[in-house]
Amino acid sequence: MADAPTGRGARGARARTAAIAGAATLAVGGLAACTGGTGGANGAGDGDARSDVGVQMFQWTWDSIAQECTDTLGPAGYGWVLTSPPQEHILGEEWWTSYQPVSYRVESRLGTREQFEAMTAACREAGVDVIADAVINHMTGSDTGGTGWAGSSYEHYDYPGIYTTGDFHHCGLTPSDDIVNYGDAAQVQTCELLNLADLDTSSEKVQDTLRAYLQDLLDLGVAGFRIDAAKHIAPEDLAAILDPFPDDTIVRREVIGASGEPVQPAQYTGTGQVFDFVYARALTAAVRSGDLAGVLDLPTSTGLSSNQAVVFVDNHDTERNGETLSRSYGDQYALATTLLLAAPYGTPVVLSSYAFGITDPNLGPAQDSTGAVLDAACPDEVGPGVAYPDQTWVCQHRWDAVVGMVNWRIAAGDAPAEEITAMDDGVLSFRRGDAWVVLNVTREPVSFGLETALEPGEYCDVVSGLLVDGACAGGTVEVHDDGVASLVVPAQGAVAFHPGQRVSG
């Protein structure tokens, strides 16, 4: 949920050489920066190297995530996954039913408590942390009540054995008690978001209840939480709920930044990270305008430092409300994701979701006759040029460009962006350590030579494919004896290479 549940040669180049500080670093309670490593067969890391890149596995079942951690995510070097909310929720086919809690039982249409615990164990064995999406700001938005997925009864302000009406905010600031003015912090943090029963998170009882739920998730093996709708919880209330947890608990908050509003992301960075919506919007604007270099300047304008920010191209809300690029934009989306993973700012997360038509943004994932979500099955062919029928799994985390840039990011480690060349016609190149990337936002392919200090030889273009059995699965880059790399960068595409993906010398 968010604020709404719908929720190219070098001629003519202007060169700038600089060290862009702020590589993805250890956040409070977060993952370590990507470690050095080389790519192995089939696009995997070397077995130990791990990136800081996460995958939001939106509406994937627990069994599916477990299998994907073992088969794909761990071998590819992903560092963490973000699950959908695991608690009991209201009944319904729409995606947002998961964001209306009925109880804190770990029993949902995505799987049972036992399956959830088995998933965290499988992912941990694969070297992948599990972050649970925690809905702790509110309960349901139903005026009439009903029965939840696991059989718990509820009313709008009555959840037997958990909460009664006195445990909720009744702000009295608007006729409906709903948020009307986002310029009023009191409304944002004590009134209801679209009729969702807003918990009085200042209450000791409520804090204890929420803390017990989060502790239960930790006991089940999660490494931490995404705090949904954190903007709607006063910072001091959220701190009181989270402070007792161990220092290594990962906490990442959803705080949607908007200019001029009194509630800002920087207010929530005391004990963890914040999802940087400003960066996501700017990344979209940069790819659309062609000013790619501007992305490397963004960390000075977001109000968040690199170790405080979780960065993304899109998430489950923005792919529906059109605020950012999404998979429907094809090559532009893949290019934006490549830049996201190449830039040193923030802790990146990519979305892995299912297709839906623009006329039905509420469409939920494919379900069986009981409403249980069917296990995810990635198509044989995935990528920006694939047509995805509704409810088909898009599996962005398996796209060649994404897997390749995870590998590249591991090779880049915590090195800053240097030798930045921003060309007037929409091409950006830079390196991080010995890892190079060139991005082309134009609609024509570009050929030129790039001066590097790399050993001569043939290197895999990791954007199009990694080393498999000693050969490049995709395109190649030739580095000559003088260190100049010969490149052909596709239209609205990228080329990236590093020594760990060198084929020959």
Q: CA-CA distance, 485 to 419, in Å (whole number)?
A: 14
Please indicate whether residue 68 is annotated as part of the active site: no
Cα–Cα distance measured from residue 391 to residue 143, given in angstroms and rounded to the nearest whole number: 30
Q: Which of 63, 254, 314, 317 is flagged as catalytic?
A: 254
The two beta strands, 224-227 and 347-352, are unpaired
72 burial (CB, 10 Å; 0-12 / 13-18 / 19+) is buried
Amino acid at site 266: A
* DSSP assignments along 412-479, one per residue: HTTPPEEEEEEETTTEEEEEETTEEEEEE-SSS-EEEEEE--PPSEEEE-TTT--EETTEESS-EEEE
Our answer to whether residue 254 is catalytic in this structure is yes
Coil, strand or helix at 278: helix
The residue type of 211 is R
Question: Would you call 69 helix, strand, or coil by DSSP?
Answer: helix
Distance CA 421, CA 15 (A): 4
Which of 129, 177, 228, 414 is an active site residue? 228
Please give the full DSSP string across 104-165, using - where no structure is assigned: S-S-BTTB-HHHHHHHHHHHHHTT-EEEEEE--SB----SS-EE-TTS-EEBTTBBTTTB-G
How far apart are alpha carbons 487 and 496 in whole angstroms?
A: 10
Asked if residue 493 lies in contact with residue 463, where contact means CB atoms within 8 angstroms, the answer is yes
Count Cα neighbours of 314 within 13 Å in the Cβ-side half-sphere. 27
Tokens of 70: 């073992």
First and final C-alpha spacing in the chain: 51
Pick from 357, 232, 362, 345: nearest CA to 280 = 345
- Number of residues that make up the chain: 505
Catalytic residues: 228, 254
